[in-house]
Amino acid sequence: MALSKRQRAKAFRMSQYALLVVVAVVLAFVADWNEIQRSFFNLDIAAEMFPNVITVALTNTLIYTALGFAFGLALGLILALMKLSPVAPYRWLATIYIEFFRGVPALLVFIALSFGVPLAFGLQFDIYSTVMLALGIVGAAYMAETIRAGIQAVPKGQIEAARSLGMSHGRTLLTVVIPQAFRIILPPLTNELILLTKDSSLIYIIGLARDQYELTKFGRETLSRSPSLTPILVVGLCYLIITLPLGHLSRYLERRTGGKKISTPESTGLGVSA
Amino acid sequence: MSVDVDSGLAVEITGLKKSFGTLDVLKGIDVRVNRGDVVCIIGPSGSGKSTLLRCVNLLEEPTGGKIVVNGVELTDPDVDIDAARTRIGMVFQSFNLFSHLNVLNNLMVAQRKVLKRDAKQAQEVALRNLARVGLSDKVNAMPGQLSGGQQQRVAIARALSMDPDVMLFDEPTSALDPELVGDVLGVMRQLADEGMTMLVVTHEMQFAREVADRVLFMDGGYVVEEGPAEQVIGAPQHERTQSFLARVLDPTHQGPSST
């Protein structure tokens, strides 16, 4: 029988759906539902985690991420400006910094910062400073490249207009270029905030007191006292509470700015896996 | 021409040269513009007319020669170029309104940050100039909400808000839909009538003919011909001017004799 091209395409599409149904049915039969419920959906254990998972863990994750992001953004802006500077050593320093901190696992930076720096320099940071530095130092390396791309994406005519009105180079940068650059890079910056939120899970390495736990550490702690993976599921959902709205925000911003894409290879990855 | 030693000259360009790499765009330009004069610069694309204009406020750095605007030598390496530029208004082909600021702030930002005027005074000046270009009702609009013609008039008002002595127009109507060109030219004509010193790079021959005190025809990095508009456009002497004008005027010119 001769199927038309359209009919063949339709048949092919139907077979895809059929395949998905078969896979789902097979998985449903193979799975041990009791075991799954016991290990992932143990409501007693989940209930025990409240309210601390919110009041302590989620709150700390938010605080740590915000601190790291704020510091990373400020440092990233400085690095981006250095990278665009006419002063060659500035450019070299910025490049070295960015290449180095993008190239090494964030975990190593955290270890170095929490154990190495106090030993080497006799400095003892409090927990918030350590977290801010650790997340910010790594985040800055990624954000610098995004910010640099944003600055370069500001149309040249905007700069010429500002200069022709008598604004100095620095004044132009502050008044015209940076505000416009940040509008352009808002979507990729939001993505980097999401990645930073997840990277905040790595700071368990610096050693946290009970009231300093963030989500992942809190989940592991609960896990060690209970025979179920439920805590992991709960904290996972807590991350989604933060990251899903941010993801939507990022896509909304992207639509609003007309989907103007800034091509940085970095816009996909603060991500460091421990 | 009798040249009043300093007070009469707004712009004085001597032996101006500009190259981009190995490409010589301006090969020795001498131009004098008296205070209150309107000078139109015409010529084929690539002739260097925009580059010449952009040299007058040093958006392009000249390779050689001397530029004096309002008695300030811009080509002096130690000149305070930012201060000098506040006296020279520039209007671009692509408007270049600050896209993150509304109309009022576009007009106020440089007054506040550069001239250090207080908010009240800056706003007064801004509103006065917005009225001048007939856009008082667009105070709070964002540039993206305006038509090209409106954007260009706001850009003119923005430049005027700095109280410049000289205005530079770089093909101000080239990016506009035909029906919007008239609004912008109207504003420019009114400005000329008020006695503003203007340098205008344009393809609007009608405007040049009616408004310009003098027309420069440029080709290949030189000023080939200059003189009163009637003479350069109406009765060009130079062969290159003639062929350029024939190409520009003929396709669109609906003269009484052409039908």
Instruction: Give the pLDDT confidence of B72-129 residue by residue, as tens digits.
Output: 999 999 999 999 999 999 999 999 999 999 999 999 999 999 999 999 999 999 999 9
pLDDT(B3) > 80: no
**C-alpha distance from A173 to closest chain B C-alpha (Å):** 13
- Classify residue B38 as exposed, middle or buried by CB count within 10 Å of its CB (0-12, 13-18, 19+): buried
The whole-angstrom separation of Cα A155 and Cα A170 is 17
ipTM value, please give it: 0.90
A166 → closest Cβ in B59, B85, B155:
B85
Across the strands, what pairs with B68?
Answer: B12, B73
Q: Are residues A164 and B90, on separate chains, in Cβ contact within 8 Å?
A: yes
The whole-angstrom separation of Cα B223 and Cα B226 is 7
Check residue A219 and give its pLDDT. 83
CA-nearest residue to A178 within chain B is B100
Q: Give the 3-state secondary structure of residue B74.
A: coil
Check residue A258 and give its pLDDT. 54
pTM over 0.90: no
**C-alpha distance from B236 to closest chain A C-alpha (Å):** 34
A167 → closest Cβ in B82, B158, B159:
B82
A183 → closest Cβ in B100, B113, B114:
B100
Q: Which residues of B91-118 are buried (b: 16+ CB within 10 A; e: fewer)?
A: bbbbbbbbbbbbbbbbbbbbbbbbbebe
Check residue B259 and give its pLDDT. 37
Q: What is the pLDDT confidence band of residue B255, given thresholds at 50, 70 and 90?
A: very low
What distance, in Å, lies between the first and last C-alpha atoms of chain B? Answer: 41
Check residue B216 and give its pLDDT. 95
Structure tokens at A16: 């895809």
Q: For B186-233, how does the pLDDT look when each residue is reduced to its tens digit (9 = 90+)? A: 999 999 999 999 999 999 999 999 999 999 999 999 999 999 999 999
In which residue ranges of chain A is pLDDT below 70?
1, 257-274
Task: State whether residue B179 sits within 8 Å of chain A by CB.
Answer: no
B96 → closest Cβ in A157, A175, A183:
A157
Residues of chain A found within 8 Å of residue B59, distances taken between Cβ atoms? 160, 163-164
Task: State whether residue B59 sits within 8 Å of chain A by CB.
Answer: yes
One-letter identity of residue A182 = F
Check residue A51 and give its pLDDT. 83
